[in-house]
Amino acid sequence: MRVLFLTYPRIGLNRGGLQIQIEETAKGLTELGVEVVFYDPWRNQIPEVDLCHAFSIDGAVLPHLERAAESRKPVIVSPVFSAFAHGAYLTRVKVLLSSSIPGMYSDLRRAQRILNVASHVIALNADEESLIRCSFPSVSSRRITVIPNGIDVRFATGNPEIFRAKYKLGSFILTVGSIEPNKNQLALIQAMKQLDSQLVIIGRANRSYSDYFALCQKEASTQKNILFAGEIPHGDPLLASAFAASELFVLPSFSEVMPLSLYEAALAGCKVAASDSFPLQPEVARYVSRFTPSSASSISMVLAKELQGRLNEGLKNAVLTMPSWTTISRRILDIYEGLCV
């Protein structure tokens, strides 16, 4: 079987969760005998493949999916749709407006067209499935399956001393993610003023948000407890070491679908605190302290409580029950095979 992977053209500039999802899925499928072809944004022709799998509802993939559908190739869409902060019903109203008023919410109109040509849709969790079905009523329950991201168990065995030695650190709080407004590092930096702890920020400065990065740097310059460690590749043992070395992992994002960094931190044995504006896997959510992402005081209060509390092994054990990338790839292949009969 030969499968074309499509996503928006700028994905290679952002080594985030979506890029990892695509790479790990491709790796797992390849091990199962699937030939995965990656989309070339400079080529307008769809290569000879058995089906197309789009990891986005960005309008850039729409023309390619429509051509694939016209040539009777099955189309799979993994939307990675994260409008949780707006709510499903408000998003549905926007979708309805986009179809009746030219130029209004054009991104949602394109998303609707992408989902309309999809032979099947894969959601990362029940919350995303519900959000998609409520926002885009044309996606029936028969056309959507929930398949989460896999977990990478090597994060359970990181050596904490590698990271501590490199940066000469003792106890510290960790956050991982590209530096941009949605990831909300600025509020976390502001919250650190109320805490007698070190904060380590791992993540690249997204060029599209250079002004935001400058704001974060300016805010951090008034404190002595903030370290920008830059980007560390996902496969680098230094990243697993950072998770293992940290006392507490924090994810202050305004929106996420299935945040891999949080689950990787849990595997490493960290205590975890996160924004309350996005869903978590049910088996994990009970062990994670939540805060209001727009409030630095809410963040600092929750972090202070977590720093004083004891580690609950239930979080790591819950994540260990989640499926591996190999298992996830097998489930995706089952969908492919069902459509190519």
**pLDDT tens digit sequence for 253-293:** 998 989 999 999 999 999 999 999 988 988 899 999 999 99
Average pLDDT, the chain: 88
- Res 54: pLDDT: 92
Instruction: Kindly report the CATH number assigned to the domain that includes residue 9.
Output: 3.40.50.2000
Instruction: Say yes or no: 311 and 178 in one domain.
Output: yes
Handedness of CA 7, 81, 2, 234 (dihedral sign): positive
Instruction: Say yes or no: 123 and 145 in one domain.
Output: yes
Burial pattern 34-73, b for ≥16 Cβ within 10 A else e, equals bebbebebeeeebeebbbbbbbbbbbbbbebbeebbeeeb
Instruction: Say yes or no: 113 and 14 in one domain.
Output: yes
What are the φ and ψ backbone dihedral angles of 228, each rounded to 5 degrees? Answer: -90, 110
Q: What's the whole-number mean pLDDT along residues 133-148? A: 89
Instruction: Say yes or no: 167 and 315 in one domain.
Output: yes
Residues 6+ apart with CB under 8 A from 142: none
Instruction: Say yes or no: 168 and 311 in one domain.
Output: yes
Task: Count other Cβ atoms within 10 Å, centred on residue 228.
Answer: 16
Strands 2-6 and 51-54: parallel
d(CA 252, CA 291): 8
DSSP string, 67-135: HHHHTT--EEE------TTT-HHHHHHHHHHHHHSTTTTHHHHHHHHHHHH-SEEEESSHHHHHHHHHH
- Res 70: pLDDT: 87
Q: Comparing C-alpha atoms, which of 237, 235, 283, 292 is closest to residue 19?
A: 235
d(CA 333, CA 220): 46
Instruction: Say yes or no: 294 and 328 in one domain.
Output: no
Partners of 38 in the beta sheet?
Answer: 5
Q: Which residue has the higher pLDDT, 190 or 98?
A: 190
- Res 93: pLDDT: 53
Instruction: Say yes or no: 162 and 237 in one domain.
Output: yes
Domain that holds residue 12: 2-150+323-339
Instruction: Say yes or no: 103 and 131 in one domain.
Output: yes
d(CA 241, CA 306): 21
Q: Comparing C-alpha atoms, which of 252, 246, 256, 266 is closest to residue 307?
A: 246
Please give the tally of structural domains in the chain.
2
The answer on pLDDT for 139 being more than 60 is: yes
Instruction: Say yes or no: 121 and 174 in one domain.
Output: no
The answer on pLDDT for 11 being more than 60 is: no
Instruction: State the pLDDT confidence band at 2, using cuts at 50, 70 and 90.
Output: very high
Furthest CA-CA distance within the chain:
62
Q: Comparing C-alpha atoms, which of 236, 8, 247, 214 is closest to residue 111?
A: 8
Instruction: Say yes or no: 7 and 124 in one domain.
Output: yes
- Res 12: pLDDT: 47
Instruction: Say yes or no: 87 and 160 in one domain.
Output: no
The answer on pLDDT for 100 being more than 80 is: no
Could you give the angle at which helices 260-267 and 237-245 cross, rounded to 10 degrees?
70
**What pLDDT, in 10s, does the model give residues 190-238?**
999 999 999 999 999 888 899 999 999 999 999 989 999 999 999 899 9
| DSSP-derived secondary structure letter, 230 | E
- Res 99: pLDDT: 58
Instruction: Say yes or no: 187 and 136 in one domain.
Output: no
- What are the structure tokens assigned to 122, written together? 């894969």
3-class secondary-structure state, position 197: coil
